[in-house]
Amino acid sequence: MAALQSAAWAADAPHEEQFAAAGSANHAIVIREHAGWNANCDAIAHPALYLDEPPRHGSVCARVEDIKISSIYVGTESQCIGRRVRGVRLVYRPDAGFIGGDGLRYAVQYPFRRRSVAVNVTVADEVPVAPVPSSMAAPPALARQASGPMPTCTELMF
């Protein structure tokens, strides 16, 4: 229990209930990153993520990767800012050909606190440079996601 009490938890934009992300059509868009670490800057389990309101024009998932600590939401281990730890990156993938605005709501469960986050996503038309081979085209739209534990990106085949 002492390890959790001295642990720090990060989100790339602390203290925000609203967040905006933008990217190009037919490409994955990184929304946010979350991680947990101890006083030695060693990664601990990242906070659990729950999808409260799925996007209407795409899908969202969590990809476990090394991330750079940029800020702290809960905890006191600020000496770790700038270090890399294993965390989770939240990724939005618009439906094939979708351009416009979308949104989603998710929650981050820290050991002693739950934080709700609303995300507004803007998907812009991409500037075509060359024809995209059909083998590299965006996947067809998936069935709408359901609320619940955030799926991993491998489950959604991102």
The tally of domains found in the chain comes to 1
> Does residue 155 sit within a domain?
no
Asked whether the beta carbons of 85 and 42 are under 8 A apart, the reply is yes
> Does residue 140 sit within a domain?
no
Q: Greatest CA separation found in the chain?
A: 56
Whole-prediction pTM: 0.75
DSSP percent split of the chain into helix, strand, coil, nearest 5: 10, 45, 45
How does pLDDT run across 58-116, given as a tens digit for each residue?
Answer: 999 999 999 998 887 767 678 888 999 999 999 999 999 999 999 999 999 988 888 89
CATH number at residue 77: 2.60.40
> Does residue 137 sit within a domain?
no
Instruction: Provide the domain limits for residue 19.
Output: 2-128
> Does residue 67 sit within a domain?
yes
> Does residue 145 sit within a domain?
no
